[in-house]
């Protein structure tokens, strides 16, 4: 999916005085993982709340289940991820095209 991109500070990325446009699925996945339920007005149940889950020391299985559910809720499929530790994980997913 192509959309307006964010920079490393999660602010709008501006290049040559204009919004940067590009492939946005990776930043969408990141936004879902770090957001809390209720932060997205159009989808109040969307948000994996990973920062809270890590502080609460949830199990790997619980975190895996929540990531799967939240990404599916937002239309992703073929979700594959590998968790090494709290700060090192890889997620690959594709959005359903309608």
Average per-residue pLDDT for the chain: 88
Between CA 24 and CA 98 the distance in angstroms is 17
Structure confidence at residue 63 as a pLDDT band (50, 70, 90) = confident
Residue 30 and residue 49: Cα distance in Å, rounded? 11
Supply the pLDDT for residue 90. 84
Q: Cα–Cα distance between 98 and 89 in angstroms, integer?
A: 29
pTM of the model: 0.81
pLDDT tens sequence across 64-87: 899 999 999 999 988 888 877 666
**How far is Cα 87 from Cα 22, in angstroms, rounded to an integer?**
25
């Amino acid at each position: 999916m192509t959309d307006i991109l964010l920079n490393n500070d999660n602010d709008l990325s501006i290049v040559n005085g204009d919004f940067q446009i590009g492939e946005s699925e990776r930043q969408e996945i990141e936004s879902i993982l770090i957001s809390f339920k209720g932060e997205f007005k159009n989808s109040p149940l969307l948000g994996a709340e990973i920062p809270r889950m890590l502080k609460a020391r949830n199990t790997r299985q619980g975190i895996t289940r929540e990531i799967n559910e939240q990404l599916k809720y937002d239309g992703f499929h073929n979700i594959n991820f590998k968790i090494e530790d709290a700060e090192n994980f890889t997620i690959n997913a594709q959005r359903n095209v309608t």
